[in-house]
Structure 1
Amino acid sequence: MNTTYPYFSLASIVLTLAIVLPLQAQGKAAPPAPVRTAVVQQKEIATQKPFVGTVRPTQQAILGSAVDGRVIEFNYEEGDRVENGAAIAQLLTQTINLQWEAAKAELNVRKAELEELENGTRPEEIEQMKARMLAAEARKRYLELRRKRAEDLYNNQKVTSAEVRDEAVSAADAAIQAYLEAKAAYDLGVAGPRAEQIAQAKARVAMQQAVTNELEDRIKKYTIRTRFDGYIVKKATEVGAWASAGGPIAEVAHLDSVDLVANVPEQDIPYVQVGREVTVVVFAYKDKPFKGTVFSINPSADVRSRTFPVKIRVKNEMVDGKPMLKSGMMGNVLLQAGERKTATLVPKDAIVLGGAAPMLYVVVKSADGMTVKPVAVKVGEADESLIEVIGEVQPGDQVVTRGNERLRPGQAITIIPPTESQSVGS
């Protein structure tokens, strides 16, 4: 329905009247009125109903502290945007940092011990052990010969004492043991560390690594981070406050896309389909409709109202870096609430109101040109810019959509082509 005259300026209207009134006074016909027209359509539409809903974030989380500690930093204010992984707040970590440094130092010691075992005995150490073994072997041979001489002098020639013989025997036995010890040390050096020793060293490294990791993980918990993009909608603490494990720090809401949650009665739920595109009008922006998609239907109804929560997902728009649609806003959404039917549709601008009933002008073509006739109609369901009409209107008819409020029955018209300037007559 037209309420303004967008295609004709005041000057053109005055000029038309200046031409038409003298012609009428002389009994002459007025020139054809310039109008725009559209073709009547016929297509399937569905009954739609408006449902009131509330804007909700698609994600919302209360960030809490996993450990006890003093808040020393709070990096954002309410309304600030935060990115995924951003550090919202920091707790004091001086004591645990010292423990972590000590644990890392101990880990380095354990790793060095393991590396020493895995590398085996150095060649220089093996040469040193070999030299000791050869020296022990030489001393053993010398003392064995000395013992043999002492025994011969004592047993056969009777020229030495038992004490001298016993001393020689004892020295030879000690030399043998010293040689065996040196040889065993050399053999161990050549063989290298046992597998069991390396396994024990690896276990000690793993144990210390676990201690270090545990402290490092605890340090991370002293930094409170968000796990998705969003906006700080609530601060629950301040710098200097004590944060308890499990206590709230801040609340973050994701508003890049939002959900309009509407409660739909059970009799209308069978006609709501997930994935269908719908139009959302938020009360704060009545002149700016948003496109949305039915995202989900909660299968559990409110037992008191017998309504089912339906989420309509809407992509938010940013103005000066802030989201237009904010949590808690209210709006309407048109949802299908009946079976689909075939209807006759015209543009809403074709309907003329103000009389006893809605009407529209249908173009009548003849050999003398084009005129219009008024047709009374009943209006039905709306389908975006089109509306259902019931009356003597057929698909394919032309109806006037611009200039119709100035027309009279039977008046001659001329149709302005769609390609002409929108300011015709100005």
Structure 2
Amino acid sequence: MKKWVASLSILLLLAGCATEDITNEQTERQQLLVELAPVQISSIGETLELSGQLLPTKQVPLVTAMPLKVTDVHTQIGQAVEAGDLLISLDDGEARRQVNQANQVLDELKQALHQAEQINQSVEQNISAAADLETELLASIERAQELLQALDEAEGAADQQALTDLLQASLDVSLKQAALTQAAGAGSLSAPLNTAELSMQINQAEEAVRQAESALAETRITAPIAGTIAQLDVTAGQTAIPNQPLAIVSDLSKMDAAFAVNSFQVARLAAGMPLSLSIAGWNETIETELTAVSPVIDPQTNAFMAHATVPNESQQLKGGMRVTATVELGTVQEAVVIPADAVLYQDGEPYTFVAEENRVRRQELELGTRDGASIQVIDGVNEGDEVVTVGKERLTDGAAITVRSE
């Protein structure tokens, strides 16, 4: 009996030891193996490294204001074009009809104005003729009065002659009165026409012709600049959507290297600073300078923008290529420094894992300059903290860790 009890005790002891070994092994497997590095205070070469992309310095979208059918496309993506080249033709039937109609209205108004001016000229001539007749009538009346007086004073044969002259003068007066009455009647029936209103209508018609001709010209979509067809979103037969780009012409002779920078970086940058550009897929380093630094933040990206112009005569550089710029600024003394290997990024925002006993805490960072394998931290960690440099990719906030021993 005693032997049986002793054997049972030994078995229970062995089972307990085995369970403890298994638990310890599971715990070690749950803790991730990492390597740490201390946060230090040291001097660091002030080199800013900026990430951005290449964009054409000039690109112009081609749009139409009219929902017209596309009759022909005269270009293709990647084709070089000159300013004024015909790229897209739209249905111009209605536009031509409106031009013809506007010109017809203008011609009719001009003809009406010409006729009105002729009528007014005739009226003026009638009025002038009536005035002349009135003058002649007065002269005839005066002559008749003189003859009448002479008749009173004449005797014999002279009296007969005076009577004849008086009768002739009276006839002249009667004829001139009749002519004057007729001229006055003609003038009253043909009052001057208002040509000022016709002139105003002609001005309006001329403006209508210009608008119709402009609408006709818009059915021929031409290249606004010399460049390359970077985008073409239209085919023959479809209806063009107003104010939607049908194509984009880009000038690739010069490229704009555009960088989004934070508040620390923008304070260190200025137009004219030299910088070295490294372009993805490009074996050469390009030396250039900053051409512009934005004085205000972009509310959409919450960043400032810095720009550099890159010559591209060969047009081998393409829009959208990733580019990295290195700017040498000097040396920062007593900077908070961590290894660059300790930094991770999510959606472009840097962070690290700080070790606290046997666990880690995810910590957002604001970074400064970088010098080789070291990077300056403006905010986020302090001297004496330890950050994860190896094994960080598998970590999450609060994860248990085991520090790898030497």
Per the normalisation by structure 1, the TM-score is 0.50
> 1:90, CA displacement in angstroms?
1.4
What is the Cα deviation at residue 275 of structure 1? 2.8
Query: Match of 2:258?
Result: 261
Query: Is the alpha carbon distance of 1:290 and 1:84 closer, same or farther for their aligned partners in structure 2, counting shifts above 3 Å?
Result: farther
Secondary structure at the aligned position of 1:251 is classed as: strand
Alpha-carbon separation, structure 2, partners of 1:178 and 1:244: 72
Q: How does 1:14-413 map to 2 (within 5 A)?
A: 47-117=46-116, 126=125, 130=129, 179-183=180-184, 185=186, 193=192, 197-297=194-294, 299-300=296-297, 307-318=303-314, 323-338=315-330
What CA deviation, in whole Å up to 9, does each residue of 1:236-285 have, x standing for no partner? 11112111323331122232221112233432322211133433232332
- Please tell me whether the aligned partners of residues 266 and 304 of structure 2 are also in contact (alpha carbons under 8 angstroms): yes
Q: Distance in 1 between matches of 2:108 and 2:181?
A: 34
CA distance in 2, matches of 1:242, 1:281: 43
> 1:71·1:91 contact (CA, 8 Å) conserved in 2?
yes
User: Which residue does 1:43 correspond to in 2?
Assistant: none
Closer/same/farther in 2, CA of residues 340 and 199 from structure 1, 3 Å limit: farther
Q: What does the per-residue CA deviation read over 1:206-250, in whole Å, with 9 as the maximum and x for residues that have no partner?
A: 121122122122222222234333321111111121113233311
- SS of the residue 1:69 aligns to: coil
| Matches of 1:259 and 1:129, distance apart in 2 | 78
| Number of equivalences | 259
Look up the equivalent residue of 2:221 and give its one-letter code: I
Q: Which amino acid aligns with 1:333?
A: A
For 2:90, the aligned partner's letter is L
3-state SS of the aligned residue for 2:69?
Answer: strand
1:118–1:283 Cα change, 3 Å: same
User: Matched residues in 1 for 2:331 and 2:269: separation?
Assistant: 11
Determine if contact 1:271/1:338 at 8 Å carries over to the other structure. no
Q: Is the Cα–Cα contact under 8 Å of residues 53 and 323 in structure 2 kept in the other structure?
A: yes
Looking at structure 1, the residues matched to 192 and 86 of structure 2 have their Cα atoms a distance apart, in angstroms, of: 48
TM-score by length of 2: 0.52
CA-atom RMSD in angstroms: 4.5
2-structure distance, mates of 1:62, 1:177 = 78
1:177–1:276 Cα change, 3 Å? farther
Say if 2:75 and 2:87, in contact at 8 Å, map to a contact too. Answer: yes
Distance 1:199 1:127 in 2: 22
Q: Percent identity?
A: 20
Letter in 1 for 2:306: V
Structure 2: gaps (5+ residues): 1-44, 141-175, 334-370, 373-406
Counterpart secondary structure, 1:267: helix
Q: 1:92-144: per-residue Cα shift (whole Å, max 9, x none)?
A: 1112202211211221232233345557766899489959x97xx99xx9xxx
In structure 2, relative to structure 1, the CA distance for the partners of 1:182 and 1:116 (3 Å cut) is: same
CA contact (8 A) 1:302 1:308 kept: no
> Could you give the per-residue CA deviations for residues 354-374 of structure 1, whole angstroms, max 9, x where no partner exists?
xxxxxxxxxxxxxxxxxxxxx
Any conservation in 2 of the 1:232–1:251 contact (CA below 8 Å)?
Answer: yes
Instruction: Decide whether the 8 Å contact of 1:256 with 1:315 is kept in 2.
Output: yes
Distance 1:340 1:76, change over 3 A: farther
